[in-house]
Amino acid sequence: MIRISNLFLRYVRQYYALYDINLEIAQGERIAFIGKKESGKTSLLRILLKLEKFQKGEVYIKNIPLKKLNFAEDINMGYLPAVPIFFENKSVYENLVYVAKMQLSRPAQIESLVNEVLIDFNIEGFKDISVADLTLYQKYIVSLARLSLRKIDILLVDAVFDSLEAQERDKIIEILKQKFISDDSIFILSTEDEKLAKKLTTRQIYFENGSIVGESA
């Protein structure tokens, strides 16, 4: 499903953020990118999201070159970043409706779908609250609820556990396992926490100074 060959990325002339990355990820795999900050793991996620342009190498998703990939037509990519992205001054409900409108056209269907998701994720109690007033943990839950409004083929999760309490981490893990991880999709987690990674993934890729330095399963 994902094939990366001889990939190089640099932000400045003398510094490679990624150096000669070679990696294949099959349909249904659960992968962790493990490494310290600035080890290259987040840069690789950003490349898969087409948020960074690499200088050399090849990236294919579903046998389509990344540069030609159309996220609207070819694949459904989901992203849960460390800093959630919303319309901050709009309510939880309004943020969910915005995404639901991309899937459905009839107002009654949109309302029904959003209300179903609010109940499913147990967030109906603050549906009218501005996202800006939510805690970080609540924003992650709303982010996951929003992602659930569409079918996700590849889910990328980047360092979302670093600032959470243990109980909050466990809840996020439970949601990911129940609603997003399946044999029909790819799950990629970027983290510094090897123990946590092994709770969610079956294959761990280790990064250091922009290179892959090891792997375990």
Can you give the pLDDT at residue 186? 97
Can you give the pLDDT at residue 137? 96
Residue labelled with tokens 């190089």: 8
38: nearest Cα among 211, 216, 213, 215: 211
Residue labelled with tokens 């795999």: 29
Can you give the pLDDT at residue 11? 84
Contact 132, 185 (CB under 8 A): no
pLDDT digits (tens, 9 = 90+) for 146-166: 999 989 999 999 999 988 999
Can you give the pLDDT at residue 129? 95
pLDDT digits (tens, 9 = 90+) for 159-198: 999 889 999 999 999 999 999 999 999 999 999 999 999 9
Residue 106: how many other CB atoms lie within 10 Å: 8
Angle between helical axes of 166-179 and 136-147 (0-180°, round to 10): 0
Angle, vertex CA 98, rays to CA 44 and CA 91, nearest 5: 100
* Rounded Cα gap, residues 102 and 110, in angstroms: 10
Can you give the pLDDT at residue 20? 96
Can you give the pLDDT at residue 211? 96
Residues of the chain with pLDDT under 70: none
95: nearest Cα among 135, 127, 124, 133: 127
* Rounded Cα gap, residues 84 and 137, in angstroms: 10
Tell me how far apart the terminal alpha carbons of the chain are, to the nearest angstrom: 19
Angle, vertex CA 199, rays to CA 85 and CA 147, nearest 5: 25
Can you give the pLDDT at residue 112? 94
